[in-house]
Amino acid sequence: MCKPPQKKTIEIAYSEYSGIDHLPADLQQLLTLAYKETHNAYALYSKFQVGAALRLSDGAVIPGSNQENASYPAGLCAERVALFSAAGSHPGKTIEWLAVTAKNKTNSVVDPVFPCGFCLQVMVEMERKQNRPIQLIIGQPDTRVLVFDSSYQLLPFAFNADQL
């Protein structure tokens, strides 16, 4: 008789804050900018506006918002807009923090909205490229905010170039 496989557990460590006021001042500013970026989203179809803001090692802050298209696959998420903008306009700079927030047409988003798999895959690759984690701030300014030490925590089995 075959022995059943041993189950393994993945633990995710994060910090949880009951609102933006409990974050350190520099992270409050980053999440506030991400929320302001939701106003720049082009979300004509989903009515779901996502904002992102990242901070580089030199202190530069890069915003991003989701940009939809009638041909849905042609759009980009806010996180990737900010990440690709940083890579293109600040080559060689390290991304230290990335804040993500969202709102819908009724402003009823309460819980943190997590990056999609595409965005997490890009974050993991950028972490690998810069040999340093990107810390994530995910949440809503008026409710819960979660802080993670690395995007790997949210995509622990990410595909990578070593598998090609």
At 133-157, the pLDDT tens digits run 999 999 998 889 999 999 999 999 9
Average pLDDT on 70-88 reads 95
pLDDT band at 5 (very low <50, low <70, confident <90, very high): confident
Average pLDDT on 12-34 reads 94
CB 31 within 8 A of CB 101: yes
Domain 16-156: give its CATH architecture: 3-Layer(aba) Sandwich (3.40)
Residue 20 CA to residue 27 CA, distance in Å, equals 8
Q: Is 79 a catalytic residue?
A: yes
Distances (CA, A) of 31 to 3, 9, 61, 115, 158: 49, 31, 11, 15, 26
The three-state secondary structure class of 46 is: coil
The catalytically annotated residue of 16, 37, 68, 79 is: 79
Residue 4 has pLDDT above 90, yes or no: no
The three-state secondary structure class of 43 is: coil
Residues β-bridged to residue 56: 95
pLDDT band at 65 (very low <50, low <70, confident <90, very high): very high
The pLDDT of residue 58 is 96
Residue 23 CA to residue 145 CA, distance in Å, equals 9
Residue 1 has pLDDT above 80, yes or no: no
pLDDT tens readout for residues 80-95: 999 999 999 999 999 9
Average pLDDT on 45-60 reads 97
How crowded is residue 25: how many other Cβ atoms within 10 Å of its Cβ? 7
Range with lowest mean pLDDT among 9-13, 27-31, 97-101: 9-13
